[in-house]
Chains A and B, each alone.
Chain A
Amino acid sequence: MIGRFFARYTIWIYATLAFVFLLIPIIYTIVFSFNDSRRTNIAWRGFTLDNWIYLCEEQGVCQAFVNSILVGVIATLLATTLGTMIAIALVRYRFKFRAATTLLLFLPMATPEVVLGTGLAAEFLTAGIPKGMLTVILAHTMFCISFVVVTVRARVASLDPAMEEAGRDLYASPGQVFMRVTFPLLLPGIIAAALLSFALSFDDFIITNFNSGPFVTFPKYLYTAAAKGMPAEANVVASAVFFIAIIAVVVSQLSAAAKRKRLAKQ
Chain B
Amino acid sequence: MAFGAFATSAPVVESAPRRRSRVALLLLLPGIAYLALFFLVPLVSLILTSFQEKTPGTDIGVYSYAFNLENYAFIFSTYGEHMLRSVFYAVVATVLALLFSYPLAYFIGVTLRRFPLLQALALTLVIAPFFISFLLRTLAWKQILSDEGPVISTLKGLSLLGSDAHFTGTAGAVIFGLAYNFIPFMTLPIYTSLEKLDLRYVEAGGDLYASPARTFFSVTLPLSAPGVISGTLLTFIPISGDYVNASNAFLGSSETAMVGNVIESQFFTSQNYPVAAALSIVLMAAILLLVSIYVRKSGTEDLV
Contacts and interface: CB of A to CB of B under 8 A. Distances in A.
Interface of A: 11-12, 14-15, 18-19, 22-26, 28-29, 32, 42, 82-83, 85-86, 88-95, 99, 101-116, 118-123, 125-126, 138-139, 141-142, 145-146, 149-150, 153-154, 157, 199, 203, 205-206, 209-210, 218-219, 222-223, 226-227, 230, 234-235, 238-239, 241-242, 245-246, 249-250, 253, 257
The 3 closest A-B pairs by CB, nearest first: A112-B241, A119-B42, A93-B24
Contacts of A223: 135, 244, 249
Given A25-B144, A94-B16, 6 more contacts: A15-B111, A82-B34, A93-B21, A110-B237, A154-B9, A238-B133
Given A22-B129, A223-B244, A230-B139, A14 B103 contact: yes
A85 B31 contact: yes
A21 B231 CA distance: 20
A90 B14 contact: yes
A203 B107 contact: no
Nearest to B86: A112
B12 A157 contact: yes
B133 A222 contact: yes
B38 A25 contact: no
Contacts of B9: 154
Given A26-B137, A86-B32, A206-B244, A157 B27 contact: no
B43 to A, nearest CB: 5
13 contacts: A26-B137, A29-B137, A85-B28, A94-B17, A95-B25, A104-B35, A105-B35, A112-B287, A205-B244, A210-B267, A223-B135, A223-B249, A257-B117
A23 B140 CA distance: 11
Question: Taking each of B13, B45, B106, which has the highest tally of chain A beta carbons within 10 Å of its own beta carbon?
Answer: B45
Nearest to A83: B31
Interface string B139-167: 11101100000000000000000000000
B31 to A, nearest CB: 4
A249 B131 CA distance: 11
Interface string B232-250: 0100011011111000111
Interface in B276-302: 276-277, 280-281, 283-284, 287-288, 291
A93 B287 CA distance: 33
B25 A157 contact: no
Contact of A119 (B46, B133, B180): B46
A139 B42 CA distance: 11
Interface stretch (B66-74, B119-127, B201-209): B119-127
B283 A110 contact: no
Interface residues of B, number: 95
A88 B27 contact: yes
Contact of B132 (A103, A149, A241): A241
A242 B132 contact: yes
A209 B244 CA distance: 11
A116 B263 CA distance: 12
B273 interface: yes
A199 B132 contact: no
Interface of B: 1, 3-4, 6-7, 9, 12-14, 16-21, 23-25, 27-28, 30-32, 34-36, 38-43, 45-46, 48-49, 100, 103-104, 106-108, 111, 116-117, 120, 122, 124-141, 143-144, 180, 183, 233, 237-238, 240-244, 248-250, 259-260, 263-264, 267, 273, 276-277, 280-281, 283-284, 287-288, 291
Nearest to A14: B103
Nearest to A92: B16
B6 A157 contact: no
Nearest to A102: B1
A114 B280 contact: yes
A15 B240 CA distance: 28
A235 B283 CA distance: 34
A142 B34 contact: yes
Contact of B31 (A82, A95, A116, A250): A82
A94 B13 CA distance: 13
Given A22-B183, A230-B139, A116 B20 contact: no
B32 A104 contact: yes
A94 B124 contact: no
B38 A12 contact: no
Given A92-B16, A104-B35, A123-B42, A11 B107 contact: yes
B120 A253 contact: yes
Given A22-B128, A122-B277, A14 B107 contact: yes
Contacts of B36: 104
Contacts of B20: 93
A153 B12 contact: yes
A52 to B, nearest CB: 16
Nearest to B21: A95
